[in-house]
Structure 1
Amino acid sequence: MPKIVYKTHEGKVYEVDVPSGRSVMLGATSQGVPGIDADCGGTLSCATCHVYVAQEWAEKLPPVEEMEDELLENTACERKSNSRLSCQIDVTDELDGLVVEIPERQF
């Protein structure tokens, strides 16, 4: 089972086994990782699951699609070039070890 590494803005690290096919967001919320609010439950209608993907992983992910890009642009706090909505990142075996950082605050 792939392991996803979640880092909080305070520096706490959570290593979570997430089944392939689930989203990075669901991996966090199901294991009580703080900071990923997921207010919309992963329906791509908010940006409260915003994360920063570690640079070495950013190009291994599918590109940001239009709706995700709009939400990041219009509602995410402190968007960066490596910002993603964790509900839009499906875990695969190839993402074993993926590192994401949780922003200090969500929208």
Structure 2
Amino acid sequence: MPKMTFIKPDGSRLEVDAPLGATILEIAHKNNLALEGACEGSLACSTCHIIVADEDFERLPEASEDEEDMLDLAYGLTATSRLGCQIQITEELDELVVTLPDGSNNMLV
């Protein structure tokens, strides 16, 4: 089974199992990590914003135009920002490293 590493806002790292086909948002929730996902993965918010490690970013499929639009609303946007609900784990993403931002913009409340 693929693995991935979350870097928490405090800098600590957590390596977890990353089941094939699961989204990063689902994996974060399964491991009790604070990644909000206010719209429950329907691509209607930016609260599952993650920052992908520079060396891993090119391994991801390209973001859709809808994802890019939602990312414009993300807290702490970077060049390697993505939405965790839009990235499904594949064998090619084994050992993926993502950082959880220290905040989010929740426009749904």
TM-score (norm 1): 0.94
Report the Cα offset of residue 106 of structure 1: 1.1
Supply the RMSD in Å over aligned alpha carbons.
Answer: 0.8
1:85-104 CA distance string (max 9 Å, x none): 01111101111110000111
Shift of 1:56: 0.5
Query: 2:2 is matched with which residue?
Result: 2
Unpaired runs of at least 5, structure 1: none
Structure 2 alignment gaps of length 5 or more: none
The percent identity for this pair of structures is 39
> Which stretches of structure 1, 4 residues or more, deviate above 2 A after TM superposition?
none
Q: 2-side partners of 1:60 and 1:18: how far apart? A: 15
Q: Deviations over 1:63-99 (max 9, x none)?
A: 11100000011x2012111000011111011111100
Q: Give SS of 2:63's match.
A: coil
Is 1:41 the equivalent of 2:20? no
Work out the number of aligned pairs and report it: 105
2:31 maps to amino acid? Q
Query: What TM-score, normalized by structure 2, do the two folds share?
Result: 0.92
